[in-house]
Amino acid sequence: MTRNESLGSLHLEGFNTTQKGHWTLTNNGHSVVLQVGGGMSVSGGGLPGVYQTIQLHFHWGSPSTNGSEHTVDRHRYPMEMHIVNMKSIHPNLSAALNDPTGLAVLGFFIDVVYADNVHFGHITQKLSSVAYKGQTTSVKPFPLIGLLSERNMSQYYRYHGSLTTPPCSQVVVWTLYEVPIYISWSQLEQFASEIYSTEEGAEEVQPLNDNFRHIHPTFSRVVYASKDAKLLTGTAGHPLRSALSVLLFQITLLGSFICGL
């Protein structure tokens, strides 16, 4: 872990406002994905350009296991949220995948408390409408900043890596925030127990659990800490060390490869 004093807060354009139109929440069989449309972008904080926000999605475990994709000194959080942003100079995702810094993904650990997160409720109240693979529902836009730990947005880790699903293209500038988002146990339970990776009416219904990739070594990649990162102690009591694990290659879910974001 190397501290980089030049890594300050990112500029989140449009995250404080309510966008026009509607957003779409989809169960794609691998995750729950919120397509947010235009009007928001991410820049600064050492990012090589301006990135348009296109979607956010989630990774979680099961009712009895944690499910974040990154770990802090082998500690895995209950969930992780990824906000995916595409470099604005590219006309589409295919073009961005040919750029070694074509995507910027903001990663947020999610931990649990007893009180509901009212902002997270914009999503969890819609989960029953996308319980099965292929189901889609509309979501009324809301200020996305409400989902984030706004007071701690200058505390993060940075590395260059890949998509966490095949084709696992090495095109991602990762920003992993140090301070988790908090939701309630009941909100976590909705993801872990009420979402399925199979279509409605399938002969064998499969819960959508453990949709995170396995831990892989860093392969000599440097992980940078922002100038304000506190190197906090993980929930499991392990201090953050240079052994911060980042996930670089492939994920297998329910015996098959996941494709796409």
CB count within 10 Å of CB 97 equals 18
DSSP E strands in 99-232: the ranges are 103-113, 136-139, 156-161, 172-184, 224-225
Give residues with Cβ within 8 angstroms of 245, minimum separation 6.
Answer: 70, 71, 74, 215, 216, 217, 218
Q: Which residues are catalytic?
A: 30
What 3 state SS string does 137-151 have?
A: EEECCCCHHHHCCHH
Q: Which amino acid is at 232?
A: L
Number of alpha helices (DSSP H) and beta strands (DSSP E) in the chain: 3, 16
Residue 18: helix, strand or coil by DSSP?
coil
The first and second tokens of residue 35, run together, are 């397509």
